[in-house]
Amino acid sequence: MAKKIGILGSGQVGQVLANGFIKHGYTVMIGTSNPSKLSDWKQKAGANAHIGSFSEAAAFGDIVVLAVKGDAAMTLIGQVASALHGKTVLDTTNPIAEVPPHQGVLKFFTTLDDSLMERLQKKAPTVNFVKAFNSVGSARMVNPSFQEGKPTMFICGDNDAAKKEATLILDQFGWDVADFGKAESARAIEPLCILWCIPGFLNNQWTHAFKLV
């Protein structure tokens, strides 16, 4: 029986991943502060799609996806940490600062000696965070098709069992997985978002993905 998925965030990333999980046979609840925003989504997504509060989605999911803006992630995790105790949380967030990109380069509110996922892990030490889905656009998150073959999703996290769960999902979603170790590796994986966005901001190219060879 497929596990239940809670998704924290009702934006484009949250909805795309929710649809991907439903496509692969999971039951999904999106947590949101604005349920009316999801009425069209619920109608199209069908019987395995549910809407709730952030707390309800956190409690609902056997596995949870964190898909809010980076600057909102710490506050939200603080609010729902007790419901996430011992669970795998796929952390899609990036620490993007609220300033425009310069020459196509985003600015982060972290440094190279820190990462948002490490901050989240310290905030909620009993939660098993796995960084994933942060280095590609939402249009290519679920079963992307490239002539060159499967793209690579870079993951990291402190809990090996959680990374195995994440790897099974990513395999279903059409990705090769590169496990880059513990939470500290998010210091390198999160900035892949900056690299991914540069062709978009400079040349309006948003359909690429990374592949490790």
pLDDT at 155 over 90: yes
pLDDT category at 1 given cuts 50, 70, 90 is low
Return the pLDDT at 186: 98
* Report field, pTM of the whole predicted structure over 0.85: yes
Rounded Cα distance, 25 and 178, in Å: 25
Query: Alpha helix locations (H) across 100-191?
Result: 116-123, 160-172, 186-189
Q: What is the pLDDT of residues 180-189, one digit of tens each?
A: 999 999 999 9
Q: What is the pLDDT of residues 63-105, one digit of tens each?
A: 999 999 999 999 999 999 999 999 999 999 999 999 999 999 9
Rounded Cα distance, 86 and 105, in Å: 36
CB-based contact 170:144 (threshold 8 Å): no
Considering only the C-alpha atoms of the chain, give the largest distance between any 2 of them, rounded to a whole number of Å.
Answer: 48
Rounded Cα distance, 21 and 4, in Å: 9
CA distances from 7 to 18, 89, 90 (A): 7, 9, 9
What ranges do the domains of the chain cover? Answer: 4-203
- Domain 4-203 belongs to what architecture? 3-Layer(aba) Sandwich (3.40)
Identity of the amino acid at 177? V
173 contact partners, CB below 8 Å, separation of at least 6: 20, 24, 141, 142, 143
Q: What is the pLDDT of residues 24-34, one digit of tens each?
A: 999 999 999 99
pLDDT category at 2 given cuts 50, 70, 90 is confident
Neighbours of 203 (CB within 10 A): 9
- Quote the mean pLDDT of the chain: 97
Exposed, middle or buried: residue 204 (CB in 10 Å: 0-12, 13-18, 19+)?
exposed
Q: Could you give the strand order of the β-sheet that contains 128-131, starting from the edge strand earlier in sequence? A: 49-52, 27-31, 4-8, 63-66, 88-91, 128-131
Give the mean model confidence (pLDDT) for residues 152-161: 98
